[in-house]
Amino acid sequence: MSRKQQLLKRHRRNKRFGLIIALLLLIAIGVLVVWWLPVVLAVLGWVAHEAWFADHLFYSPADDYQYIFPPYTQQPKVHLDGERLRLDDGVMLVDDATLILALRIKSNWLGRFIDPVVELSGGSNPDRQTFERGVDGLRYLNLSGQSSALSQGELQLRGRFCRLLGEPVLWAFEYPDYRNKRVMVIAPHADDAELAAFGLYSSAEQSWIVTLTAGEIEAGHYQQMGLDRVEASRLKGSLRAWDSVSVPLWGGVPQERCIQLGYFCLQLPVMQRAPAEPVASNDAQLGDTRYFRRFNPFALHSDVDGVPSWNNLLGDLHELIERIQPQVIVLPHPRFDPHPDHLCSQQAVLQALAATTWQPETLLYYANHLHDNDRWPMGDAGTGVALPPQITADEPLRPWTLGLSTEKQWHKAMSLGMMHDLQPRLPLKRLLRRVIQRCLAARRWPVYGENEFFRKTVRRHELFWVQELSGKRENN
């Protein structure tokens, strides 16, 4: 069981315990006061829960985020003078530097009911970055794209439903432009590449998309069409396999550079535990990866037998790395992204790299899911992406932010809209929750689509974590 599953299990256990206590109190009120009062209180309690307590937040908003950056990282001196953030005299910043600002944020009483926001203004790129309700601790703002305004002394920070406290600390990270490299994006499922890296892969010199699984599970939407469980699972997997090789064309990546490996969803951990054993899809009742590979532009060595094993997965990745010779590989972050398939995808890439002659120059890590906060990135679509919650820091990290223009964000939203897994309507309970939160918590959702990923990932920033490698070329 993953850490996130353990946290959810504990959260649900605590919620059940709380509901039992609340039910006993309501019964007592009904007996001792008046029979209809518990009904009114129950409805009001449910509305309050949906408005303000439905988020999965597995840490206290008063906890400090903890980050360690490499000791050689530039730290330009800054001061918060009222609402204006000022650099020391003579300090200038590179326009495309990734800028991270640490400061304390403390919500006011309204900030316990409405999401606290830090507004960035004064330059040509106004922004809003959102934090937890009730926040009272150290947080890390993403000032990437604000270099010019900050250098000219024009950048202003203003808290809405919160106050900005203490002396801020700024880090400046400078990197080569990874868009000028040959990029290979590792997507555990169809849509992971778009969620994490559409802006990067759609503007890179040459991009390849490698999707590891067909994503055939949870096909209830297709069973409503009259299909049985196996038929629905196979249809969903086929559609997502098609998505994985066709949707990147919207971002300028031709089909001949998109590969679907056809392994089965949530089966990668089972494969990893017994590397030589085939692991079939329970839902689709398939034991052959070739079923979901039929849209691939070329065959792989494992297509000889189609065995869904960890050894074949490593062989596929080895073959593709040697064939593509990527300078940059984009893959899930093992610390921030807890999804079992994402963890296994990252581990499979590193295991394959240990045996390849070709080595990339850089690994860029992303997180499409979090352990501790299911709303991150918090706030509205189109706004900035602050650093994610991290309550303990074990190792230095190097963030890299790619800025997305408004037009690029539109195109990213349309790429997500083409993904079949993001198209079904939300359950009635979630729709009601959104209405309640719009009215009572002032939350807004984008017009691009109902799925939460349209809010989370269509942003002015794509955030990656950088690991530089030496890189080496094959000796001819």
CATH of the domain at 121: 2.60.120
Q: How far is CA 245 from the centre of its chain?
A: 21
What is the per-residue pLDDT for 8?
A: 63
- Mean pLDDT score, 31-60: 85
CA–CA separation, 369 vs 205, rounded Å? 28
What is the per-residue pLDDT for 32?
A: 75
Of 2-16, 41-55, 198-212, least confident by mean pLDDT is: 2-16
- Compare 472 and 51 and report the one with higher pLDDT: 51
Q: pLDDT for 110-123, tens place per residue?
A: 999 999 999 999 98
- Which band of pLDDT confidence, cut at 50, 70 and 90, is reported for residue 476? very low
Residue 416 shares a structural domain with residue 438: yes
Residue 272 shares a structural domain with residue 322: yes
- Mean pLDDT score, 314-333: 98
Residue 206 shares a structural domain with residue 245: yes
CATH assignment of the domain containing 262: 3.40.50
385: in domain: no
- Mean pLDDT score, 142-152: 95
Residue 151 shares a structural domain with residue 264: no
Inform me whether the pLDDT recorded for 343 exceeds 50. yes
Residue 189 shares a structural domain with residue 166: no
- Mean pLDDT score, 171-185: 97
What is the per-residue pLDDT for 9?
A: 72
Residue 273 shares a structural domain with residue 188: yes
CA–CA separation, 11 vs 131, rounded Å? 21
- Mean pLDDT score, 312-340: 97
86: in domain: yes
**Hey, how many other C-beta atoms are within 10 angstroms of the C-beta on 256?**
11
* Average predicted confidence (pLDDT) for the chain: 93
Closest CA to 97 of 148, 154, 155, 158: 148
Whose tokens are 């300028």? That residue is 252
Domain count, the chain: 3
40: in domain: yes
Residue 189 shares a structural domain with residue 263: yes
Inform me whether the pLDDT recorded for 475 exceeds 50. no
For 141, 205, 321, 435, the CA distances from 350, given in Å and listed in that order, are 31, 24, 11, 44
- Degrees, nearest 5: CA angle 235-215-385: 130
Burial of 297 (0-12, 13-18, 19+ CB in 10 A): exposed
Which domain range does residue 33 map to? 3-53
Residue 112 shares a structural domain with residue 167: yes
Residue 134 shares a structural domain with residue 228: no
Residue 195 shares a structural domain with residue 126: no
Q: pLDDT for 197-248, tens place per residue?
A: 999 999 999 999 999 999 999 999 999 999 999 999 999 999 999 999 999 9
State what percent of residues in the chain have pLDDT above 70.
96
> Pairing mode, if any, of strands 162-173 and 182-187?
unpaired
Tokens coding 226: 């009259």
- Which band of pLDDT confidence, cut at 50, 70 and 90, is reported for residue 43? confident
Residue 230 shares a structural domain with residue 97: no
Of 80-94, 192-206, 289-303, 445-459, least confident by mean pLDDT is: 80-94
